[in-house]
Structure 1
Amino acid sequence: MNFDPVGFLRDVRAEVGKVTWPSRKETLVTTAMVLGMALIAAVFFFAADQIIGLGVRTLFSSGA
C-alpha cells in the first residue's frame, strides 16, 4: 500500500470544493443561539443548585 501525498492533497482539495459553507449571517445567528442556550442552561442549573442547596441546609439544620 503506497501513500501518494500529491494525490491525497488533490482529493482533499476536491472534497473541500464540495463543502457548502454557511453565510456570515447564518454563522452569527447560530452563534447567538448557542450562546443563548448556554446562558439559559447556566441560569437553570444555578437556580436548581440553589434550591437543592436550600433544601439540604434546611434538612440538616432542623436536626440540631
Structure 2
Amino acid sequence: MAKTNPFQFMQQVRSEAGKITWPSRREVMLTTVMVFVMAALTALFFFIVDLLIRTGLTVLLDLVG
C-alpha cells in the first residue's frame, strides 16, 4: 500500500467528505417515526406472545395441579 504525505491525505479526506449526501429534515423525521412505530409493533407482538404463553402455562398447571 502506497504511503501518502499528510497534506495529500487531508486533500483526499476533504474530497471524500464533499461526496457525502446528508438526509433532509423530512427524511430524518420520517425514519424516526418509522423506528418508533416498528418498536411499538414489536413490543405489542412480544406482549401478546408473552400473554399467550402465560395463559397456556396457567391453564396447563391448573389442570395438572
> Please, what TM-score do these two structures have when normalized by structure 1?
0.81
Which residue of structure 1 lines up, in the alignment, with residue 28 of structure 2? 27
Where in structure 1 are there 5+ consecutive unaligned residues?
none
**Could you say if the C-alpha distance between residues 56 and 7 of structure 1 is closer, same or farther in structure 2, counting changes exceeding 3 Å?**
farther
Does residue 39 of structure 1 match 2:40? yes
Which residue of structure 2 lines up, in the alignment, with residue 56 of structure 1? 57
Distance of 1:7 and 1:63 partners within structure 2: 76
Distance of 2:38 and 2:28 partners within structure 1: 15
The number of aligned residues is 64
> Please, what TM-score do these two structures have when normalized by structure 2?
0.80
* Identical positions, percent: 42
Where in structure 2 are there 5+ consecutive unaligned residues?
none
Structure 1 consecutive aligned stretches of length 4 or more whose deviation exceeds 6 Å: none
* Per-residue deviation, 1:3: 6.3
Residues 5-63 of structure 1: CA distance to partner in whole angstroms, max 9, x if unpaired?
44333322211210111000110011101111111111111111111111011112211
